[in-house]
Amino acid sequence: MQTHWVMDYETLTDCFLGVFEHYKTDEVKVFTICRLRNDLPAFIEFLEECQQNNQWHISFNGLNFDSQITQFIMINKTKLSWMTADEAAHEIYKKAQDCIARQNQRQFQEWSERKLFIKQIDVFRLNHWDNPAKSSSLKWIQVNMDWHNVQDMPIDHTQSIRTVEDLQMIAKYCRNDVSSTKEVMKKSSKLIALRGTLTDTYNIPLYSASEPKISKELFLYFLAKRTGIDKWELKDMRTYRSEIRVKDLILPYVEFNDIQVFQDLLENFKQLVIKPGQTRGGFKYSINYRGVKTDFGLGGVHGAKKGVYVSGDGMIIMSSDVKSFYPNLAIRNQWSPAHLPKAAFCDLYEWFYDERLKIPKKDPRNYVYKIILNSTYGLSNDEHSFLYDPEFTMRITINGQLSLMLLYTMLAEGVPGAVPIMTNTDGVEMMIPESQLEKYMGICAIWEKMTKLVLEHDKYQKLIVPDVNNYIGVFEYKELSKENWEEKQKENPDDLFKIEDGKFYYAPTKCKGRFEFKDLALHKNKSFQIIPKAIFYYFVHGVDPHKFLPENRNIFDYMGGVKVRGDWKFMENEITNGELLETELQRTIRYYISDQGSKIIKVNKSDGRKINVVSGRWLQTVYNKHEAKPFEEYGINDQFYLERIFKELKSIAPEDFNHQMSLF
């Protein structure tokens, strides 16, 4: 069996500790360098063995930190070996501080991935948790994957280690981090396997690559082959622009005859002059059309009319999405970043699209081509990418919005009885008379011919829409074989299933925004999952929340998670025997709402500002360490969760829930 190691380091001023756990077994190795114990010779021997036997290190943010420490120790092994344990630990600590400083200043680390003696898999980087939009510490991931122990470092890194008990405490903490990193590795196994295949196929180190990096590297690889331009030359290419005049970008077919609000929208876009680097919030415009408020920006269009929509009484809910919308806008209109050969770029982009169509969705290559197609336009607005040309980005996003609004108005004006519901970046949802379906599809065909784009259609039997970013959709029943039907039940037990006339039917569901609870990405906040679950089960399965909660007693579904950064801290305020006790808490907290507990308060260290983590009368119980016991012993306050559930239900369908709210 191959041997690789999941690992983590703790570096203090006078103590270094490294923990390694076999990636498949429970074997653990612990190395300590401090005045109480000096494992440096054994540790160096272990690292050299890893290098010689091609044993990889698997870490959380290891490329920016742990791997750099490893490299430093291996390069300076002779110098460190002559030092006392205290001195060696302090040298390692200084290198650790250098790594942290470089990371904070967004500088490259001393050794690139290619130069490291020991190969690495960084689950932090491959999951793209280094992206500000997904930024996540290991502690936050522990909260979101229901880890049994969410624990911050128990001793400050500047504190001196004086006792064996201190050392054991740090080792226990570090082992917990390693074990949770191993769990992240398991949850990322398909991502790792895919990156391994890509690395072997193209001889590009992609084991720790995020999706945008995969897209960038593979597009670069194929473009270099297609154009004959050396990839290092391509990497340095960019198109910089001082301004972008939007009127020069708009496609000629975009016209809104006799609809004043859309004519005004088009005119506002035409007058727009964009300064690259200032695109965030660079354009905001809203309209109200047919009762739907729709917002426009430089990145996309979003609009929705709140309500619960149900097919029936001669009405159906249509959903029409543009197939690979942004990639196909570029492909069909022969757009490319100005510094790249247009024919080569467009041919290659279209090749990725065509190849993906030939490959089954379960084939990993399908996913790779999807990454490349979807990431390429985004990379064109990234100054660190060889695809950088912000005009190319704006061509896509602005014409995408306007083309979609053209479809939206053609359907709303052309289909008698049409009721617009929602539009979001690449598609529209609309309720229409079933008798007008042929008319609807005919208008879609006209739009497809005009734009050279392709629409994909589906039907909802129910759509629950508080707003454009948060909704629940129940698609129409689809007939399946018995085997596929049974498999779907295993994969998606929350969806709808029925047998009718000896046939097997399945209705898939979709949850977005705050209603997501199925297969939630690990970086997303999963606080109080019982609430979206109860709302889903009410609208989809007709289960009253008063009944749902007692039948769903997974303690982790009742948990909230919070974290602080910068000059803030958490304090727990608890009254015991009439006396207020204040306890400082760690920076990442898991908790639930309880009948008897305390108040968790966020406090600013500089100015003393205080903010309740949960406002109102509710009490909280900190629950960083899991203890399995009968559910009633946790002291969960069901009333809090029910109030939140019914508040949401009332906001969506107020006419149905006024009587329910009187209970609170």
So what's the pLDDT on residue 662? Answer: 37
- Of the candidates 21, 22, 11, 18, the one whose C-alpha atom is nearest the C-alpha of residue 171 is 18
**304 and 450 part of one domain:** yes
Cβ atoms within 10 Å of 603's Cβ, excluding its own: 18
Collect all residues with Cβ–Cβ distance below 8 Å to 157 and sequence separation of at least 6. Answer: 10, 11, 12, 13, 93
How many CA atoms does the CB half-sphere of 525 hold within 13 Å? 13
Q: Domain for residue 546, yes or no? A: no
| Residues 635, 627: Cα–Cα separation, whole Å | 13
| Residues 415, 409: Cα–Cα separation, whole Å | 10
Cα distances (angstroms) measured from residue 23 to each of 179, 334, 453: 10, 47, 47
**71 and 154 part of one domain:** yes
Using the 8-state DSSP alphabet, how is residue 80 labeled? H
37: CATH:
3.30.420
**454 and 563 part of one domain:** no
Are the C-beta atoms of 598 and 572 separated by less than 8 Å? yes
At residue 394, does pLDDT exceed 50? yes
**97 and 144 part of one domain:** yes
Q: Domain for residue 526, yes or no? A: no
**174 and 266 part of one domain:** no
Q: Domain for residue 174, yes or no? A: yes
Residue that the structure tokens 């908790």 belong to: 591
223-249 pLDDT per residue, tens: 999 999 999 999 999 999 999 999 999
Q: Domain for residue 450, yes or no? A: yes
| Residues 591, 578: Cα–Cα separation, whole Å | 24
**110 and 259 part of one domain:** no
435: CATH:
3.90.1600.10
**Quick one: which H or E segment has residue 206?**
none
Our count of domains for the chain comes to 3
**444 and 563 part of one domain:** no
At residue 363, does pLDDT exceed 90? no
Are the C-beta atoms of 7 and 19 separated by less than 8 Å? yes
So what's the pLDDT on residue 657? Answer: 60
Are the C-beta atoms of 606 and 574 separated by less than 8 Å? no
**64 and 186 part of one domain:** yes
3-state secondary structure of 300: coil
**108 and 253 part of one domain:** no
| Residues 365, 451: Cα–Cα separation, whole Å | 28
Q: Domain for residue 539, yes or no? A: no
Collect all residues with Cβ–Cβ distance below 8 Å to 108 and sequence separation of at least 6. Answer: 102
**175 and 306 part of one domain:** no
C-alpha dihedral sign at 269, 270, 272, 278: positive
Helices (H), 203-320: 211-227, 231-235, 260-270
| Residues 565, 147: Cα–Cα separation, whole Å | 21
Strands 568-576 and 599-604: antiparallel
Residue that the structure tokens 């016209």 belong to: 255
Q: Which residues partner with 149 through β-bridges?
A: 625
Q: What is the domain extent for residue 638?
A: 555-661
Pick from 424, 445, 475: which residue ends a domain? Answer: 475
**364 and 428 part of one domain:** yes
Name the maximum alpha-carbon separation found in the chain: 87
**441 and 587 part of one domain:** no
| Residues 497, 56: Cα–Cα separation, whole Å | 45
The residue type at 285: Y
Cα distances (angstroms) measured from residue 514 to each of 85, 520, 529, 533: 51, 11, 9, 10
At residue 659, does pLDDT exceed 60? no
Residue 551: what are its φ and ψ, rounded to 5°? -95, 0
420-460 pLDDT per residue, tens: 999 988 999 999 999 999 999 999 999 999 999 999 999 99
Strands 301-304 and 315-322: unpaired
Q: Domain for residue 167, yes or no? A: yes
Q: Domain for residue 532, yes or no? A: no
Q: Which residues partner with 177 through β-bridges?
A: none
513-553 pLDDT per residue, tens: 999 998 899 999 999 999 999 999 999 999 999 999 999 99
| Residues 600, 583: Cα–Cα separation, whole Å | 10
Pick from 458, 475, 492: which residue ends a domain? Answer: 475
Q: Which residues partner with 617 through β-bridges?
A: none
111-158 pLDDT per residue, tens: 999 999 999 999 999 999 999 889 999 999 999 999 999 999 998 888
Residue that the structure tokens 């128990």 belong to: 154
So what's the pLDDT on residue 658? Answer: 52
Pick from 438, 453, 475: which residue ends a domain? Answer: 475
Using the 8-state DSSP alphabet, how is residue 159 labeled? S
As separate numbers, helices (DSSP H) first and strands (DSSP E) second, the chain gives: 21, 28
Residue that the structure tokens 């039997």 belong to: 461
| Residues 428, 407: Cα–Cα separation, whole Å | 8
Q: Work out the average pLDDT over 655-659.
A: 60
At residue 173, does pLDDT exceed 70? yes
User: What Rg, from alpha-carbon coordinates, does the chain have?
Assistant: 28
Q: Domain for residue 608, yes or no? A: yes
